[in-house]
A and B are shown apart, each in its own frame.
Chain A
Amino acid sequence: MPSNIVFKRGFASTVYKLDTLAFVESAGGKISPSSLSSLNAANQIGKPVTAVVFGPGGESIAADVSKIPTIQKVIQVKGDKYEHYLAEELAPTLKEIIQSSSYTHFLTSASAVGKSVLPRLGALIDSQPVSDILKVVDDSTFVRPIYAGNALATVKSNESVILASVRASAFTPVDATGGSAAIEEFSSSAESGSRTEFVSEELLTSERPELGSATRIVSGGRGLKNKETFDELLEPLATKLNAAIGASRAAVDSGFCDNSLQVGQTGKIVAPELYIAVGISGAIQHLAGMKDSQTIVAINKDPESAIFNVADIGLVGDLNQIIPELTEKL
């Protein structure tokens, strides 16, 4: 688009700041692990990184973010309206921040919040976002998965403000200590006029590591037959390994566990050090969510299961015998 190129040239000669703005999310009073991973991707773009923190609980989070050595500056946006990270409220304010300081890049983790807000921001600033990047090639070129991870596309963005979401499992989290970035408050004059109201939430409480950032995952599928067997077999094994519990779509649909534990193209994308797939056949949609794990173990009674094609170690047999035995011997 020729007009775009002209705009870019003008832009480069008049504006000296070429920074990356990174959206940092918190959960349970802490910086979310996926945001720490997205900050690593932000560093790889090679420009100074400013972090932006929203919400009423933002003060302690902003203080935590300021300790990340690679952050130049933290922008804190206060206000109750940001409490639930509604895209309707976040997007206009982000647009204001981006345009007030002429940021060239905006990054968020590809979390549920990130996926909701990024494209809406794209609409407001007329920029086509890049979803779920796995790799930063240079400041405008990224690798991202398409077709459930069966192909990797290298895409170059010609936008004057590049918007991208980051696949957390593809980047190691940044160090969160040792820095002392300045914290600035930003008061937005943007009125979203939002008609969206937050009603309630039901979050799964668990003592286990969070699925998206766990180093070990024990995951169950249809082969576990019912919720009782799912819990009975997987809970002790996960406890022994200090692992998170995951599931295939079939297990979730059959009510064995909560939706938010689904691993796959449309659920969580994970890449732990160890992934133990129990009674999971290995549909391409499931593989899309876990095939970058370091070590994959598959335990299934059907030797023809597709899961064995990606497993480093496979064991064919009866789950009801194998899993308790494995739990005991670990």
Chain B
Amino acid sequence: MSTKLRVLVPVKRVIDFAIKPIINKTQTGVETKGVKFSMNPFCDIALEESIRLKEKNKDLVELIHAVSIGPSKAQDVLRTALAKGADSTTLVDVGDEEVEPLTVAKMLKQMVERQNANLVILGKQAIDDDSNQTGQILAGLLNWPQATNASKVEVDGDFVSVTREVDGGANTLKAKLPMIITTDLRLNEPRYASLPNIMKAKKKPLEKLKPQDLGIELVKRLETVKVEAPAERPKGIMVGSVDELVSKLKERKAI
């Protein structure tokens, strides 16, 4: 009899992927007031994968628990997670502080222990800080196997096979549970939450904690000196024909 999965899915609230961020006047970060926020797309994929594992084999997955570490508004992404199919959720309310991946991973380690999770599925990166670190750090802290950039996940008893997107192609790793998986874009197509499910989600559990409840102090190891806009490219030209294109390329010594 194989181990039942208790899946932990960390989800982050980020500025919506379609919005071009504006840098604030003090050059300390980007404007967040009046900006649309959503669940980080990679987290959405991680959640979808855990729901599909459960749908494919009801006996396989005992619990899907989503956790978000963020401001109190991150409740919204947890409600979305519940509406899509998570069983229960935890918000670790850190206020408006940006929390670094190492600290997030330390909190997630505590959550893994609290939830007695044996599989953590995370997005490969958050589209705001673009770090691509949290899953790997968590795997290191727990000394669990890690499979990053997953494009395919197959559970067979206590073993999980993961096909990963790597430079130049793909590779497949196999590991014994417990383990950490981070998701790539092509793993799946996340579902939308239906209205009835959104209504039902309001009655599902959403636990609220503070970092202190997990025994973690919010420390910063990196100091953001400034945030600025990248240099703008000089305005380009439009050409009317292939001949003109070729001659402009020659002028620029691009060919």
Contact = CB atoms under 8 A, between A and B. Distances in A.
Interface in A149-170: 149-159
A147 B130 contact: yes
B186 A259 contact: yes
A195 B174 CA distance: 8
A326 B250 CA distance: 13
B252 A295 contact: yes
A312 B136 contact: no
Contacts of B147: 196
Contacts of A180: none
Contact of B125 (A126, A266, A273, A329): A266
B127 interface: yes
Given A123-B137, A128-B101, A325-B242, A146 B129 contact: yes
B168 interface: yes
Contacts of B170: 201-202, 259-260
Contact of B246 (A154, A201, A274, A330): A330
Given A118-B133, A123-B141, A128-B221, A322 B176 contact: no
Interface in B85-136: 100-103, 105, 124-125, 127-136
B195 interface: no
Nearest to A274: B254
Contacts of B234: 312
B239 A152 contact: no
A133 to B, nearest CB: 12
B183 to A, nearest CB: 11
B55 interface: no
Contacts of B166: 112-113, 201, 260
A274 B172 CA distance: 34
A157 B221 CA distance: 6
A111 B164 CA distance: 13
A15 interface: no
Contact of B175 (A115, A197, A201, A316): A197
A56 interface: no
A104 B240 CA distance: 55
B248 interface: yes
A260 B163 CA distance: 13
B21 to A, nearest CB: 5
A120 B138 CA distance: 8
B133 to A, nearest CB: 4
A297 interface: yes
A241 interface: yes
Interface in A190-223: 193-204, 210, 212
A106 B141 CA distance: 19
Interface in A270-323: 273-274, 284-285, 291, 294-297, 303, 308, 310-316, 322
B237 interface: yes
B187 to A, nearest CB: 11
A252 to B, nearest CB: 8
Contacts, number: 257
B1 interface: no
Contacts of B185: 249, 266
A329 B242 contact: yes
B203 to A, nearest CB: 35
Nearest to A324: B242
B30 interface: yes
A129 interface: yes
Interface in B46-85: none
A303 B88 CA distance: 48
A259 B165 CA distance: 7
A196 B146 CA distance: 8
B29 to A, nearest CB: 8
A47 B228 CA distance: 28
Nearest to B240: A315
A308 to B, nearest CB: 7
A159 B127 CA distance: 25
A112 B167 contact: yes
Nearest to A272: B254
Contact of A285 (B17, B105, B229, B255): B17
A123 B130 contact: no
Contacts of A128: 100-103, 221-222
Contacts of B184: 266
Interface in B202-225: 219, 221-225
Interface stretch (A61-69, A74-82, A83-91): A83-91
B222 A155 contact: yes
Looking at B137, B225, B254, the one whose CB has the most chain A CB atoms below 10 A away is: B254
Contacts of A197: 173-175
B237 A312 contact: yes
Given A119-B101, A159-B221, A210-B168, 13 more contacts: A111-B167, A122-B133, A123-B105, A123-B141, A148-B127, A148-B130, A151-B227, A195-B145, A195-B179, A199-B171, A274-B249, A303-B238, A312-B237
19 contacts: A86-B173, A111-B167, A119-B137, A129-B102, A129-B133, A132-B130, A147-B30, A159-B221, A195-B145, A196-B146, A197-B174, A201-B170, A266-B184, A284-B20, A313-B237, A314-B239, A316-B238, A329-B242, A330-B246
